[in-house]
Amino acid sequence: MQEEATQPGSPQRIEAVPVRHPGRWIGAAIVALIAASLIRSAIDNPNFHWDVVGNYLFDQRILNGVVKTIELTVLGMVIGVVLGVVFAVMRLSPNWLIRGSSWSYIWAFRGTPLLVQILFWNFIAALYPSIDLGIPFGPSFIHLNANDFITPFIAGMLALALNEGAYMAEIVRAGIISVEEGQTEAAKALGMTRGQTMRYIVLPQAMRVIIPPTGNETISMLKNSSLVSVIAVPELLYSAQLIYSQNFQQIPLLIVVSIWYLAMTTVLSIGQYFLERHYGRGRMRDEPMTLFEQIRSGWGARHADPDELIGRHGDQSGGGAL
Amino acid sequence: MAEPVVKAEGVHKSFGRLEVLKGISMAVNQGEVFVLIGPSGSGKSTLLRCINHLEEINAGRIWVDGDLIGYRQVGEKLHELRDSEIVTARAKIGMVFQHFNLFPHMTALENVALAPRTVLDRSADEARRRAAELLKRVGLADKADEYPARLSGGQQQRVAIARALAMDPKVMLFDEVTSALDPELVKDVLDVMRELAKLGMTMVVVTHEMGFAREVANQVIFMDEGVIVEQGAPEQVIRSPREERTKRFLGLVLER
């Protein structure tokens, strides 16, 4: 990228006439034409009702739905990550019973559709009318009536969290086993305990592998939380459904919903970018560019050199093979 | 004479059906440089790893600084040590690996300062001050804030030595520490090791550097197929080996 600095005595820089690509230009023209007609129809077609979209975008009911959606996502994700770490460590246990139970959990919760799980939790009271917490086969300390305790919100959140836990377990496990054995050995040789080795050596390095898919999982979770609308939890989608069941403005309200989902996923993507940058430190020979630098160099590099891109990528993965 | 720092008696170690160590006995005295040579697969690295309990032995005993490694003897019976006890024993043994195994997410200084802080409970300031001192000693004072990926192999290995020294070990184990280095970087690492030997550090060194062995070692052991074939002063084992197998091996190594 910084090839400008010519060394003394180096040959003159090549100034060749670039090859023309008429095929690309025709393709681009077709794409532009299609895009323009789509945009025009969005503006012209009165059925979009953009005025209605504007009216409802910040409607109190929609905003409440957004808050509920965020609550579901955050709670589902936090519980999911905790479950994931626990089940990942269990899957790596030397004890087969512990390993097997973790495997069964992942098998069951990854092998059934989320929608089915949500409905299942909603009807849990039919299966277990009361929930007792205590010593198995012994006394119970807490007695709960399932019908009162498992509200639709709790049912939806549990379904999302337990489903997420199964996926996170696999992600965390992949992260832990991606850390070279030499790292654990070096830590052991220094006299660090298993716990210290996990905390200071393995998990920080596993993070680099865990963070990107976890970001994707969070974005999926945000969108999948719309599934709990089937059990009447007033999150973003169900809030909109309640409104359009009265005014029959389905399309504008679904656009409102989509705008909110897009806004939230965009924010999450930006957060994910910074997290990845943080946990990638020390892995690359060159410090990674900031977002601003990347955008700027993106403008400049219209003719990106594929070798350069591959070289950079190779550096990232090569840094691990010490 | 004082108790040896490292003592092994009749050590056996198998991986599945493969017996790698077939009854090894040795003693390393205070301040001695003890060099293990032999063809690959002869069990010398495994022996090193048994000394700090990275591998469990199947028979025999190993003592470091008078303490039995891995077990507690009560009467005739051996009891496995708990993790916390193994960890305490390991902290007295420094180890340097062939592939450095620096922690890539920490700077050179953090690599050196981590274990004193977490294992020895030193204050962060003290650990960092001492780490800086050690990095200076291995000639890397200016690289303290670099991440391992930006250091050459030789520099990484010297950081690894500083990291092991930070624990004030009773003995240092070196497992083919120059084998993964480019030839021109080997000297810097060997110089650091020579310096350590001169300062009286007890060292057990697995190496293929015969020049280093001849110059620095007090005792040399030639191992092959899990047994000690020949043992003695470097002059004797390397210059005028008695055993046929030793001669053949040295012929191959010194020819290069």
User: Each residue's pLDDT tens digit in chain B (256 positions)?
Assistant: 578 999 999 999 999 999 999 999 999 999 999 999 999 889 999 999 999 999 999 999 999 998 899 888 888 888 888 888 888 888 899 999 999 999 999 999 999 999 999 999 999 999 999 999 999 999 999 999 999 999 999 999 999 999 999 999 999 999 999 998 988 889 999 999 999 999 999 999 999 989 899 999 999 999 999 999 999 999 899 888 999 999 999 988 876 5
Confidence (pLDDT) at A130: 79
pLDDT at residue number A310: 40
Nearest to B115 among A180, A192, A279 (CB): A192
d(CA B171, CA A184): 21
Which helix or strand (DSSP H or E) is residue B14 part of? Answer: strand B6-15
- The number of angstroms, rounded, from the C-alpha of A133 to the middle of its chain's C-alpha atoms is 33
Mean pLDDT of chain A: 84
Highest mean pLDDT pick, A156-170, A280-294, B73-87, B177-191: A156-170
Q: Which residue of A has its CA nearest to B156?
A: A322
pLDDT tens figures, A116-155: 999 999 988 778 777 777 787 777 777 877 777 788 999 9
pLDDT reported for residue A303:
45
CB contact under 8 A, B104 and A204: no
Confidence of residue A304 (pLDDT cuts 50, 70, 90): very low
What is the per-residue pLDDT for A305? 43
pLDDT of the residue at A281: 67
Q: Cβ distance A183 to A201 under 8 Å? A: yes
Chain A partners within 8 Å of B46 (Cβ): none
Predicted confidence band of residue A295 (pLDDT cuts 50, 70, 90): low
- Chains A and B form CB pairs within 8 A to the count of 87
**In a mutagenesis test of the A interface, which of B105, B119, B161, B176 is the best target, namely the one with the most A β-carbons within 10 Å?**
B105
Q: How far apart are CA A44 and CA A31, in angstroms?
A: 20
Q: Which of B214, B215, B217, B219 is nearest to B250 (CA)?
A: B214
Neighbouring C-beta atoms of residue B80, cutoff 10 Å:
11
Give me the count of residues in chain B: 256
Whether A298 shows a pLDDT value over 70: the answer reads no
Q: Best of A190, A196, A210, A211 to disrupt the B interface by mutation (most B CBs within 10 Å)?
A: A190
Report strand pairing: B219-224 vs B227-232.
antiparallel
Q: Give the CA distances from residue B208 to residues A120, B38, B158, in Å, rounded to whole numbers and listed in that order.
A: 65, 8, 18
Using CB atoms, which residue from A193, A200, A322 is nearest to B148? Answer: A322
Exposed e or buried b per residue across B238-249, where buried means at least 16 C-beta atoms within 10 angstroms of its C-beta: beebeeebbeeb
pLDDT tens sequence across A244-263: 999 999 999 999 999 999 99
Interface predicted TM-score (ipTM) of this complex, two decimals: 0.90
Instruction: Assess B122–A contact: CB distance below 8 Å, yes or no.
Output: no
pLDDT, position B124: 93
The β-bridge partners of A212 are none
Instruction: Tell me if A282 and B107 make a contact (CB, 8 A cut-off).
Output: yes
| pLDDT on residue A143 | 80
Q: What is the pLDDT of residues A49-98, one digit of tens each?
A: 888 899 999 999 999 999 999 999 999 999 999 999 999 989 988 899 99
Interface test with A, best of B87, B92, B173 (most A CBs within 10 A): B87
* Cα–Cα distance, A46 to B58 (Å, whole number): 83
